[in-house]
């Protein structure tokens, strides 16, 4: 089957779908014939993404949801199943970045990062897996290079992203017997509103942008579409024997041995 119709008949739930990587995932899945639920707490931006897709003759609906709330996620999953009868693909992208060490991070900041970046994946999968069992569906979680390494001052973010790999592997094993595959993608730096916001906090954003580019052996920051391609691969039958894996899409960022000549 050609890539164009790869997801014909499939229903996808995409969190963080209003912006950045999640919006690129919505675009590619819909372009390849999936019906796409654009799930995001930003109702206006989610509606914009869904309306643009519908305007192109594709199938989408926006569902305003705070994915860190179990009640909202439950309602969201029910709305998708009421509308389209099934769920085949879950792409968990919703995420936030906060800065701080364990000493400087407040309890509420810690809870916010862990709730949005980690607990949301539990909640979405908890409510969606009964439907994914019926369709022998696929889950793709958005991890990070910070699932494997870290930098100074991102304690909660690093913790959540490391734990997300454990959650991915645990779910992959628990649901393999039902034909449900669970994988993750670990990007390096991607040109999204999140990265631009992080760069804007620096006193010299231009120099930081160049330094970030140079950190990646491929010499650039990723386009969100490049990460969406990896999500679509893992969600598709092309990855039918892949489960519990994390696809590192980091432009080579994790390759060099620190301090090596």
Q: Tell me the closest approach of the beta carbon of residue 224 to ligand NAD, in angstroms.
A: 7
**Cα–Cα distance, 136 to 179 (Å, whole number):** 5
Q: Tell me the closest approach of the beta carbon of residue 102 to ligand NAD, in angstroms.
A: 19
CB nearer to ligand NAD: pick between 34 and 73: 73
Residues 6+ apart with CB under 8 A from 30: 36, 53, 56, 58, 59, 60
**Cα–Cα distance, 31 to 145 (Å, whole number):** 28
Cα-Cα-Cα-Cα dihedral sign, residues 127, 129, 134, 135: positive
- Catalytic residue list contains 178: no
Residues 6+ apart with CB under 8 A from 53: 26, 27, 30, 36, 38, 59, 60
CB nearer to ligand NAD: pick between 53 and 195: 195
Residues 6+ apart with CB under 8 A from 81: 87, 131
Q: Tell me the closest approach of the beta carbon of residue 173 to ligand NAD, in angstroms.
A: 23
**Cα–Cα distance, 123 to 90 (Å, whole number):** 12
Assigned token pair, 124: 């979405």
CB atoms within 10 A of CB 86: 15
**Cα–Cα distance, 252 to 231 (Å, whole number):** 18
CB nearer to ligand NAD: pick between 135 and 209: 209
Query: 214: closest CA among 197, 249, 186, 189?
Result: 189
CB nearer to ligand NAD: pick between 34 and 156: 156
The CB-nearest residue to ligand NAD is 20
CB nearer to ligand NAD: pick between 230 and 243: 230
CB nearer to ligand NAD: pick between 69 and 86: 69
Task: Identify the active-site residue in 99, 122, 157, 178.
Answer: 157
Q: Tell me the closest approach of the beta carbon of residue 227 to ligand NAD, in angstroms.
A: 8
Q: Tell me the closest approach of the beta carbon of residue 16 to ligand NAD, in angstroms.
A: 3
CB atoms within 10 A of CB 43: 13
Residues within the interface to ligand NAD (CB under 6 A): 15-16, 18-22, 40-42, 65-68, 93-96, 116, 142, 144, 187, 189-190, 192-195
Q: Tell me the closest approach of the beta carbon of residue 111 to ligand NAD, in angstroms.
A: 12
Query: 163: closest CA among 227, 116, 232?
Result: 116
Q: Which residues are catalytic?
A: 157
């Amino acid at each position: 089957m050609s890539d164009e119709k790869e997801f014909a008949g499939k229903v996808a739930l995409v969190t963080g779908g209003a912006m950045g990587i999640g919006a690129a995932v919505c675009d590619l899945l819909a372009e390849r014939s999936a019906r796409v639920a654009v799930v995001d707490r930003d109702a206006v931006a989610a509606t914009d993404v869904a309306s643009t897709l519908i305007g192109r003759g594709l199938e989408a609906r926006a569902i305003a949801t705070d994915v860190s709330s179990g009640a909202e996620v439950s309602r969201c999953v029910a709305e998708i199943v009421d509308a389209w009868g099934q769920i085949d693909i879950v792409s968990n992208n919703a995420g936030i970045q906060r800065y701080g060490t364990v000493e400087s991070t407040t309890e509420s900041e810690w809870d916010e990062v862990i709730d949005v970046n980690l607990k949301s994946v539990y909640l979405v999968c908890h409510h969606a897996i009964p439907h994914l069992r019926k369709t022998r569906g696929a889950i793709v979680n958005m991890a990070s290079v910070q699932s494997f390494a870290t930098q100074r001052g991102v304690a909660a973010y690093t913790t959540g992203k490391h734990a997300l790999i454990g959650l991915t592997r645990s779910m992959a094993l628990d649901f393999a017997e039902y034909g449900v595959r669970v994988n993750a993608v670990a990007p390096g730096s991607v040109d999204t509103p999140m990265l631009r916001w992080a760069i804007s906090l620096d006193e010299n954003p231009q120099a930081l942008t160049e330094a970030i580019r140079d950190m990646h052996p491929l010499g650039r920051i990723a386009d969100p579409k490049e990460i969406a391609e990896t999500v679509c691969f893992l969600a598709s039958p092309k990855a039918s024997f892949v489960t519990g894996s994390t696809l590192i899409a980091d432009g080579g960022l994790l390759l060099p041995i620190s301090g090596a000549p």
